[in-house]
Amino acid sequence: MLDIQYIRRYPERVQKAADDKGIEFDVRQLLEVDERRRHLLQQIEEWRALRNRLSKRTPLLQGEEKQRNIEEVREINERIKASEAELEQVKVEYERLMYRVPAVPFDDVPVGRTDADNVEIRREGRIPEFSFPLRDHVTLGEMHDIIDIPRGVKISGSRMYFLKNEGALLHRAVIQLAVDVLSKKGFTPMIVPVMVRDRAMYGTGYFPLGKEQTYVIPEDELNLVGTAEVSLVSYYADEILEEEELPKRMLGISDCFRREVGSAGKDTRGLYRVHQFTKVEQVVIARADVEESRRLHEELLQNAEEILRLLELPYRVVEVCTGDMGQGQVKKHDIETWMPSREGYGETHSCSSFLDFQARRSGLRYRDRDGQVRYCFTLNNTAVASPRILIPLLEVHQQEDGSVRIPPALRPYLGGLERLVPKK
């Protein structure tokens, strides 16, 4: 959510942001509703003031003059009542439109329509060359008896799976590795609620746009989160922090759920696009300082890259274009890891800066050193997400005999295991 004063001052910027992000939004409609809202507020205030003046006169009057005064007060009350009813309707429309306003991207964000327009920043690691027929992660999973997709589909439908044996242990190992790396960097590990109220989803920008991707539990008025970001940003919602506390670095560990609406026919084989997964999410709540926010963005990005280097996986960093950004993001980078079976890079991490977009919606503020209350800035980045990360982990490190080499960084979490040996 943006400051309405900013929208009034720079309507062209806001409209361009909506157009560049591919969001259907008409800033003129919002400004018209805003003007009507302000007019009604002023009108009601003036009528209330007039009513109060007339009411004070009533005891001082007599006869017909007193009766006329009483009647005039009654008429003003009716006008106020009608205007208040209209104002409530206008407020509903105003709020609906305000929740659709996009954040304005930084000037250096590339303009584009889809992920094909994202700009590659750098590549890291060596892409493996195999002198033997390549096996994808599904085949490797079956050989090692660590992935069972058919039985996952049998009990839960499409895009579901079981991880078993060393597959379950490998999943837990990459999660714990990320937690340990970031805990040492001062991030507070947190197991978060994965069922949240609408307030948290609106506050972080996942409602109303994107609601179709959310699993909703209407009987309990709860929603399953697609990322721990929702819970972590909402942790301090409607609170006022002190500047000395910031930045707050938090590390959310959670199961995540996504309906994948619109992905019919895409990535149907394997673990790339599934409905349930586990993520370790970095979230930072910071002061309202753009330069500090840019530095923190780079810090989060580097943290994710460090984990990929520990996993010995080749990857590339891309700057995300406007059309591939979310409603609230002002800057975004994706990390795409090399996946041999896809013969290309696949997204595994996203790093996003929001400035005060989420904080305004969530009521997340801090008191600066001068005593002024200001909205915080928020950022987030994936540390690791599984089972998607298992795709490159299994495929990149596969050997000719079907075994899979375990990177040294993961071995302590697997009892010293150096490689997976096929069972089939």
Task: List active site positions.
Answer: 258, 273, 347, 350, 388
Number of H helices, E strands in the chain: 12, 18
The Cα–Cα gap between 390 and 174 comes to: 9
User: Is-contact 233 378, C-beta < 8 A?
Assistant: yes
The Cα–Cα gap between 145 and 153 comes to: 16
The Cα–Cα gap between 81 and 119 comes to: 56
Neighbour-count burial of 216, counting CB atoms closer than 10 A to its CB (0-12 exposed, 13-18 middle, 19+ buried) = middle
The Cα–Cα gap between 314 and 167 comes to: 21
* Residue recorded with tokens 């964000």: 109
Closest CA to 330 of 364, 281, 288: 288
Give me 360's structure tokens: 């305004």
- The answer, yes or no, to whether the previous bond of 208 is cis (omega within 30 of 0) is yes
Closest CA to 122 of 337, 317, 307: 317
CA 365, distance to chain mean position in Å, is: 18
Close Cβ partners of 9 (under 8 Å, ≥ 6 residues apart): none
Alpha-helical (H) ranges within 62-195 are 63-98, 137-143, 149-156, 166-183
Give me 351's structure tokens: 């790093």
CA 256, distance to chain mean position in Å, is: 12
Neighbour-count burial of 24, counting CB atoms closer than 10 A to its CB (0-12 exposed, 13-18 middle, 19+ buried) = exposed
Close Cβ partners of 313 (under 8 Å, ≥ 6 residues apart): 125, 337, 338, 392, 393, 396
How many Å from the N-terminal Cα to the C-terminal Cα in the chain? 54
